[in-house]
Structures are given as structure tokens and as C-alpha cells.
């Protein structure tokens, strides 16, 4: 999802954001420093900007968000006009649970790099966290209108696929399932191997009562990606609804072993963003399994 100019780290909503808690523990047997000792210790010199940027980026990519935030703060002290740093810090703010701060950082990045798609995509994700559907849709449509680019440009296709997928989630949150399905399918067509978009489109077909189409798509995904928990959990719900309990249980063994979060109704609805019909079918299956 990130463009070459910004080198920003895209953090899925859909995913599923992980926080890293870093405990600072003194070495065994070490005495705490006295105030005098603390005064004698000089602050180490700050690394050069490129090295500092890379440290912050590495911490972000590794999910060490508690470490990444102060590093991005240092980058911005040295380079306050670096749009990439603002966008990356915004992603970290969102991962740490502060979507308002994330929106502010992405807005600053947009002001510095008005033609870049990344901060619009990242701001839309933060706006979704606050259920600001209109604002999020506006950011995604900005990308779709302005980032069409060369059909052979892989990076343009990547960012458009991400915008379409996120737009599908917004449309689903509003209950516009036909539009959501079209967006998910378009995202999957733009990015080969975008399995989550294909799975989301199949789940929307389930929501719309097109069970045969949903089943075909989910089975196709499982053949291609046997360890794809989302498709196996979705097929479990669908098979249960169609009365195929034995096969449903077989798929559930695989799905729950791959990702136990599929047991959680609220996670399915709010984080993974499943439509309500497959969620309820899976909950009914779990209630008697």
C-alpha cells in the first residue's frame, strides 16, 4: 500500500493492529543510578537522519510501535517537512489507539505532498476507526479518481486495490452490500493474489443469499490457499447453514487452529468486518459444536 515517495508503512485495520509493550528492566544486581551519576551521563549524539528514519521504519514494520513513536518524533524534530515521516508517525499513532492523532498526522502529510496517495489511504483507515464513513469514502475516492495512472504501473494498481478494498468495507458498514461486493471484486481483479478481497466478496454473496456463488468462491480460495483461515471459517458458516454439519466441522478444525479469533463475534464484526449473516451462521455453529 505504500508508495515509493513516502516509504510509509500501511497498517491494516481489517489486520488487525498489534501493539508492542517494551519493558525496561535493569540488569540483575545493578544498582540504580544516583542523581549525580545521571548528571554525569551525557546524551548520546543523535544518529544521522537517514539512519534515524530507517530505525523508525524498522520498528514500525516489526510492530514495535512503542519504540517507533519516539523515533518518528526525533525524525520530525530534524525534518519537520518530511511528508513520509508524518504519514508513518500517523500509522503508528493509529496502531497505538489514537485515531485522532493519526488523522492529524496524515493531514499534515497531505499538506506537504498533495499528490501522494498514501496519506489519503492511511487517513481513511483512521477515519474508519472513528466510523467517519463519509470522510473515509472521500479519501478512498480521491485515490480512485487521481491515482489511476498507467495500467501497467504495479504501484498504482496496488494503491487502487487497497482503496477499493477499504471502500468495500465502508460500503458494507453502511449496509450497501451490492456496492461492497463490486468494490471487493474490483480490488481482487486489480491485485492478483488478494485473497482477503476475494473472501470478502464471497462473504457478501453469502449475505445477499447467493450461497452457491459464495461456496464456489470459498472452495476455490481454499484449493489455492489451504491455510487461509478466513475462507475456511466462511465455508464453515455456509456449510452449516446448508445443513452439511460434518464438512462444516472439518473446515472449522482447520480454521480455528489457524486463527482462534474467528470464535469472537465482536472481532468478526468490528475488526475483520464480516457481514452479519455469515457471522450469525458461524455463531450458531459454534453454539452447538
How far apart are the C-alpha atoms of 49 and 64, rounded to whole Å?
Answer: 20
Give the HSE-up count for residue 86: Cα atoms under 13 Å, Cβ half-sphere.
22
- Domains 49-130 and 196-288 agree in fold: yes
Which residue from 211, 139, 114, 128 is spatially nearest to 169, judged by alpha carbons?
128
pLDDT of residue 151: 57
pLDDT of the residue at 21: 28
How much is the pLDDT for 161? 97
pLDDT of 60 over the 50 cut: yes
Write out pLDDT tens, residues 116-157: 999 999 999 999 999 999 999 999 999 999 876 555 566 778
pLDDT tens digits for 225-269?
A: 999 999 999 999 999 999 999 999 999 999 999 999 999 999 999
At the topology level, CATH places domain 49-130 in 1.25.40
Domain coordinates of the chain in residue numbers? 49-130, 140-192, 196-288
| Range 254-269 burial, b when 16+ CB lie within 10 A, else e | bbbebbeebeeeebbe
196-288, superfamily in CATH? Answer: Tetratricopeptide repeat domain (1.25.40.10)
Q: Could you count the other beta carbons within 10 Å of the beta carbon of residue 178?
A: 11
Amino acid at each position: 500500500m505504500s508508495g515509493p515517495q513516502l516509504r510509509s508503512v500501511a497498517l491494516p485495520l481489517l489486520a488487525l493492529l498489534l501493539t508492542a509493550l517494551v519493558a525496561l528492566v535493569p540488569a540483575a544486581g545493578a544498582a540504580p543510578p544516583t542523581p549525580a551519576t545521571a548528571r554525569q551521563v551525557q546524551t548520546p549524539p543523535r544518529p544521522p537522519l537517514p539512519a534515524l528514519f530507517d530505525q523508525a521504519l524498522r520498528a514500525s514494520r516489526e510492530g514495535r510501535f512503542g519504540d517507533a513513536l519516539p523515533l518518528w518524533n526525533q525524525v520530525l524534530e530534524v525534518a519537520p517537512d518530511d511528508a513520509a515521516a508524518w504519514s508513518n508517525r500517523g500509522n503508528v499513532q493509529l496502531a497505538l489507539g489514537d485515531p485522532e492523532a493519526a488523522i492529524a498526522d496524515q493531514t499534515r502529510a497531505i499538506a506537504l505532498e498533495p499528490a501522494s496517495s498514501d496519506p489519503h489511504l492511511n487517513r481513511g483507515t483512521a477515519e474508519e476507526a472513528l466510523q467517519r464513513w463519509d470522510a473515509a469514502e472521500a479519501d478512498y475516492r480521491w485515490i480512485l479518481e487521481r491515482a489511476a495512472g498507467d495500467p501497467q504501473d504495479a504501484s498504482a494498481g496496488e494503491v487502487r486495490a487497497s482503496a477499493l478494498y477499504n471502500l468495500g468495507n465502508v460500503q458494507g458498514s453502511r449496509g450497501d452490500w451490492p456496492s461492497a461486493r463490486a468494490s471487493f471484486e474490483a480490488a481482487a481483479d486489480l491485485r492478483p493474489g488478494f485473497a482477503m478481497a476475494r473472501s470478502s466478496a464471497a462473504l457478501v454473496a453469502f449475505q445477499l443469499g447467493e450461497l452457491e456463488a459464495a461456496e464456489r468462491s470459498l472452495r476455490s480460495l481454499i484449493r489455492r490457499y489451504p491455510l487461509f483461515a478466513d475462507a475456511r471459517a466462511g465455508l464453515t458458516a455456509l456449510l452449516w447453514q446448508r445443513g452439511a454439519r460434518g464438512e462444516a466441522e472439518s473446515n472449522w478444525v482447520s480454521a480455528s487452529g489457524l486463527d482462534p479469533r474467528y470464535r469472537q463475534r465482536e472481532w468478526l464484526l468490528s475488526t475483520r468486518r464480516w457481514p452479519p449473516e455469515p457471522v450469525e451462521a458461524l455463531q450458531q455453529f459454534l453454539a452447538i459444536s
